[in-house]
Structure 1
Amino acid sequence: MEPVCCHMMPVYMPPQYSTLSYWNKRYSKISETYDWYSIWPSLKTHLPFELESGSNILHIGCGSSRLGQDLYDEGVRNVKNIDISPVCIDGMKAMFPHLDYEVMDVFDIGSHFKGPTFDFVIDKGCLDTLLCQENCEELIPAMLKELHGLLRYLRS
């Protein structure tokens, strides 16, 4: 089966978003933040609730987003920013040494935490990278299952 992103972008071959080598190369010269899609000031206006300062948040596929710093500036200090690229994480730790960054695979998150740990999971683009993989129909539910096991409760 063809990756979903091939159906969405049939004119040219999509970037190799599903490979670690692509991301390591992309982040090899990280010198500033970059947010895909939207920035925090825009995103927060769409939340149906306010994040509390004591909330535990998991930001998956953080890349070079400044979201962790933006949340910190708003008083939210318990944010775990994870990405599969060690090159990216090293760069972000250098830019924001006071924030919590860790190399982690979304398919192995459960082995790093014991049961429900987070109040929220934020994903601004990790899911899109999975859509570029041949077996995305299996990967996406597997990722969501991992994440669901880490949530303390679900908001309605």
Structure 2
Amino acid sequence: MGGADCNSTDFGAAAYWDARYSSPSTGGKGRGGFFDWYQAYPALRPILRACVPTSSRVLMLGCGNSLLSEDMAKDGYEDIVNMDISSVVIEQMKEKHMDIPQLTYMQMDVRDMSLFADGSFDCVIDKGTLDAMMCGDDAPHGASRMLAEVARITRPGGIYI
């Protein structure tokens, strides 16, 4: 990322991510079809296995086109809901993973997850979404709204990673 066409305030906007996932030069389908922020599943597996039983209902915030959910499903995780603000990447991932029933994909804004009931998830995984929210036009208010929603939809005793 970077350059004259990349403004940090874009990171909280759906239009930025739709354009990113549509362009082969910035991580879209033409560049291998995936991008993992920070760490891939092999590095995260020991932590996830220690903290998150495979029977847990997991929400992946800002899933993008990461391989994390796919790798978790291959490793025995049974129910992973993936959400992203970008309708472009959600459609790409729905198509890519149509044969993996453990994975569900939804276009949604983390600042308003009202489609989910209180306490819907055992675990919420965030691998860069809060960082992106802190670069948005409404930061830190948007980040605060996101974290309030995460707290609401995580079951009592659940975990936010």
Find out whether 1:17 has 2:20 as its counterpart. no
Cα RMSD between the aligned structures? 2.0
Structure 1 contact 58–80 (Cα < 8 Å) conserved = yes
CA distance in 1 between partners of 2:51 and 2:146 (Å): 26
Secondary structure at the aligned position of 2:19 is classed as helix
Structure 1 contact 116–150 (Cα < 8 Å) conserved = yes
How much identity, in percent, do the aligned residues show?
Answer: 35
Q: Which residue is 1:49 aligned to?
A: 50
Aligned length: 144
Q: Which residue is 2:3 aligned to?
A: none
| Deviation of the 1:50 alpha carbon | 4.3
Q: Which residue is 2:112 aligned to?
A: 108
Q: Which residue is 1:4 aligned to?
A: none
Structure 1 contact 51–76 (Cα < 8 Å) conserved = no
Moved runs in structure 1, 4+ residues, more than 4 A?
none
Secondary structure at the aligned position of 2:153 is classed as coil
**1:43-80 alpha-carbon deviations (Å, 9 max, x no partner):** 12345824322100000000011111011011112000
Compare CA radii of gyration and give the structure with the larger one: 1
Code of the aligned partner of 2:45: K
Unaligned runs of 5+ in 1: 1-11
Code of the aligned partner of 2:21: Y
Secondary structure at the aligned position of 2:125 is classed as strand
Secondary structure at the aligned position of 1:42 is classed as helix
Secondary structure at the aligned position of 2:111 is classed as helix
Q: TM-score, normalised on structure 2?
A: 0.81
Q: TM-score, normalised on structure 1?
A: 0.83
| Deviation of the 1:142 alpha carbon | 1.3
The answer to which structure has the higher strand fraction is 2
